Amino acid sequence: MFIFDISNPLTLILMLAVTVLLIFLSQEIKKSYIASIMLFVFLVLLIVHVAQMATLPEEFRYLITTLSRCIAIDFVFILITFFAYLWVDDIEAKVKGKKSIDDSLSWFWKKI
């Protein structure tokens, strides 16, 4: 059974590098939809990993620990990319003079 193992250290470093580069790019050109691309990717990965765990045949039960680590890593990346999306959305809203999608974290951005 094929799983996209993001708990592998090399894969984890590559995913982190791509995520940071896309967040930096979205911050530089002030487009929040670029940051949301990685959020969408990690949400899809989470759905895939949960579906694989739910439909895991008996002969592949040894993959439960790997899938559990992948799901935990997915949640961490979702949290990071969600905050990055909100941050870039706030930057984009200030540049364009529009209202941000969610301004409930304004106290958080002032501290950064």
- Over its length of 112 residues, how does the chain's per-residue pLDDT go in tens digits? 677 888 888 999 999 999 999 999 998 998 888 889 999 999 999 999 999 989 888 888 888 888 999 999 999 999 999 988 888 888 888 888 776 555 666 666 676 6
Is residue 2, in this structure, part of any structural domain at all?
no
pLDDT at 87: 86
pLDDT at 22: 92
pTM over 0.75: yes
pLDDT at 74: 93
Is residue 3, in this structure, part of any structural domain at all?
no
Is residue 13, in this structure, part of any structural domain at all?
yes
Is residue 4, in this structure, part of any structural domain at all?
no
Q: Is residue 27 within 8 Å of residue 19, measured between CB atoms?
A: no
The amino acid at 17 = A
Q: How many domains does the chain have?
A: 1
Is residue 1, in this structure, part of any structural domain at all?
no
> What distances in angstroms separate CA 15 from CA 28, 42, 72, one per listed residue?
20, 10, 14
Question: Could you tell me the residue range of the domain that residue 56 belongs to?
Answer: 9-111
Q: Is residue 14 within 8 Å of residue 75, measured between CB atoms?
A: no
Is residue 69, in this structure, part of any structural domain at all?
yes
